[in-house]
Structure 1
Amino acid sequence: MPDVQSQKDLRNVYIDKVGISDIVYPIVVLDRENSYQSTVGKINMYVDLPEDFRGTHMSRFVEVLNNHKGKMTIQNMEKILDDMREHLKSVTAHFEVEFDYFVMRKAPVSKIESYTPYKAKFICEKNDNFDFILEVIVPIQTLCPCSKEISARGAHNQRAKADVSVRMRHIVWIEDLIDVAESSASTPLFTLLKREDEKYVTENAYDNPKFVEDVVRDISLKLEDDDRVMWYNVKVTSYESIHTHNAYACHEKWKDLKK
């Protein structure tokens, strides 16, 4: 049968990324406490396309994915990218997978256990070098220091999210970034709280007022002290309860690799 994708193209336009996006696929990721966790990923797979190729072979992306049976580890990410480059005859390959990640958490006072969901993402690229970014989105709570200072009867608080991304020298667990973000917030969020837990969480937030700027700086300092991390990006968004807008802060840094 004719291979239309491999026909010569005379328009002389190199395409940076071509491939498939938003394919939903069962995956297995590493879990700090339980070795592995099964979940569902939303995956993007791209390669570069030389200017003289009319198109890429979409089916080959899924074939590569099938060959690796959904195993998503740092080591396997590089193998997937190598296979993409080989099967699609490309110089650069890109792979992104976003997934729900669940951690069993204990309520602060009652100690009742329940699963808390988080969003995680692997962002990978391979040409001459392999690049891997771990991103974790952590739901948190912030309580406004200004509101607490000027109000006689409480302070406004709201749900927020900390979006933490790292490049690493040695393995950084998803749970590690969750711990860093939650310990930097006014208080963590929980799926299941009894009354004694709700009292604790409310008072804990009141005792730890934080602007988004405070949360970004506190997370950044913890990552700065972590020798496993060589680059980080921290973004915090607060879904303001008394404003029609959100509050936002961001900090990104390459660390001194000589340390």
Structure 2
Amino acid sequence: MQDVQRGPAEVPIPLDRVGIKGITLPLLVRDRELGRQHTVAEVELSVDLPADFKGTHMSRFVEALESWAGVLDYGAFKVLLVDLKRRLEARNAHLTFRFPYFVRKAAPVSGAMGRMDYECLVSGELVGEAFTLTLGVDVPVMTVCPCSLAIAERGAHSQRAVVRIRCRGEGFVWLEELIGIAERAGSSPVHALLKREDEKYVTEAAFANPVFVEDVARSVAQSLAGHPRVAWYLVEVESHESIHNHSAFAGIEGRKEPSRPG
């Protein structure tokens, strides 16, 4: 049968990435409290394509996923990238999993339990033999505006902000660690379930801790810079302003110098 994809390209230009996206599959991820957690991931897979090939074989991406164990950890992720390179006869392979991750959280006063969901991702690439893995999480927090609080006779405007963390490590980093770093940087964490006594506590605690979006970004960056297993990080905080017709944001990127042997 004719292999059209391996035929010559009309425009002989190499492509950096060719692949599939929007495919979903069940996924098993590590959970600090329960050991493992079942979730569902949206997956994007791609490889490079030489200039002399017209196209790639899209079915092989799906075949690679079907033969994969479906357990997300460092070793299994790299195995899947190696398999993609082999099946597609590529030099480089790229892979991203986006999935909701659930954490049971107690309300601050009543102790009522609610299940919070956080949008997470694990993204990696195998360029030649160089493997890179990036861990990410988006965390909602509440922020109270310090300026509004200082100038208003009564009250201040508050809003939900999203803390987006992307990091690469020199060892295993729990998603729960990143979530905690983000939540501690806001005026208050966001909860799935609050009773009246909890709402009173959260409101008063948030107003006692007003922060700008810049403050949140700096606080998160400071915590990540001090984390013993984080080598690189990217932080963006977006505040969905309650009294402005725009969002405010702040971002920062940081990298640790590689440790030198003594």
Bin the TM-score by the shorter chain. over 0.9
Q: How many residues align?
A: 259
- Once the two structures are superposed, residues 24-59 of structure 1 have per-residue CA deviations (whole angstroms, 9 ceiling, x without a partner) of 111111111111111111110000001111110101
Counterpart check, 1:45 vs 2:6: no
Counterpart of 1:75 in 2: which secondary structure? helix
Write out aligned runs for 1:95-244 (5 A).
95-127=95-127, 128-244=129-245
- Once the two structures are superposed, residues 155-203 of structure 1 have per-residue CA deviations (whole angstroms, 9 ceiling, x without a partner) of 1100110001110001111000000000111000001000000001101
Deviation at 1:92, TM superposition (A): 0.2
Structure 2 Cα separation of the partners of residues 11 and 247 of structure 1: 43
Alignment-mate amino acid for residue 137 of structure 1: D
Structure 1 Cα separation of the partners of residues 218 and 8 of structure 2: 53
Structure 1 Cα separation of the partners of residues 98 and 84 of structure 2: 19
Alignment-mate amino acid for residue 17 of structure 2: K
8 A contact 1:144–1:157 mirrored in 2:
yes
Structure 1 Cα separation of the partners of residues 74 and 32 of structure 2: 14
Percent of pairs identical after alignment?
44
- Once the two structures are superposed, residues 203-238 of structure 1 have per-residue CA deviations (whole angstroms, 9 ceiling, x without a partner) of 111011000000000011111111100000110000
Q: Which residue in the other structure is 1:70 paired with?
A: 70
Alignment-mate amino acid for residue 81 of structure 1: L
- Once the two structures are superposed, residues 33-86 of structure 1 have per-residue CA deviations (whole angstroms, 9 ceiling, x without a partner) of 111111111110000001111110101101110111322212111000000000
8 A contact 2:225–2:254 mirrored in 1:
no
Farther-moved stretch of structure 1 (1-10 vs 131-140): 1-10
Structure 1 Cα separation of the partners of residues 71 and 63 of structure 2: 14
- Once the two structures are superposed, residues 128-157 of structure 1 have per-residue CA deviations (whole angstroms, 9 ceiling, x without a partner) of 210000010001110000001011111110
Q: Which residue in the other structure is 2:54 paired with?
A: 54
Deviation at 1:123, TM superposition (A): 1.1
Structure 2 Cα separation of the partners of residues 75 and 140 of structure 1: 33
Provide TM-score, normalisation by structure 1.
0.98
8 A contact 1:123–1:133 mirrored in 2:
yes
Farther-moved stretch of structure 1 (60-69 vs 8-17): 8-17
**Please, which runs of 5 or more residues in structure 2 have no aligned partner?**
none
8 A contact 1:27–1:69 mirrored in 2:
no
Alignment-mate amino acid for residue 71 of structure 1: V
8 A contact 2:93–2:125 mirrored in 1:
yes
Alignment-mate amino acid for residue 176 of structure 1: E
Counterpart of 1:147 in 2: which secondary structure? helix
Query: Pairwise CA RMSD of aligned residues?
Result: 1.0
Which consecutive aligned stretches of 4+ in structure 1 deviate over 3 angstroms post-superposition? none
Structure 2 Cα separation of the partners of residues 104 and 9 of structure 1: 53
Provide TM-score, normalisation by structure 2.
0.97
Q: Which residue in the other structure is 1:93 paired with?
A: 93
Q: Which residue in the other structure is 1:5 paired with?
A: 5
Alignment-mate amino acid for residue 112 of structure 2: I
- Once the two structures are superposed, residues 98-149 of structure 1 have per-residue CA deviations (whole angstroms, 9 ceiling, x without a partner) of 0000000000000011100000001100022100000100011100000010
Alignment-mate amino acid for residue 134 of structure 2: I
**Please, which runs of 5 or more residues in structure 1 have no aligned partner?**
none
Counterpart of 2:124 in 1: which secondary structure? strand
Q: Which residue in the other structure is 2:26 paired with?
A: 26
Deviation at 1:256, TM superposition (A): 1.8
Structure 2 Cα separation of the partners of residues 114 and 172 of structure 1: 24
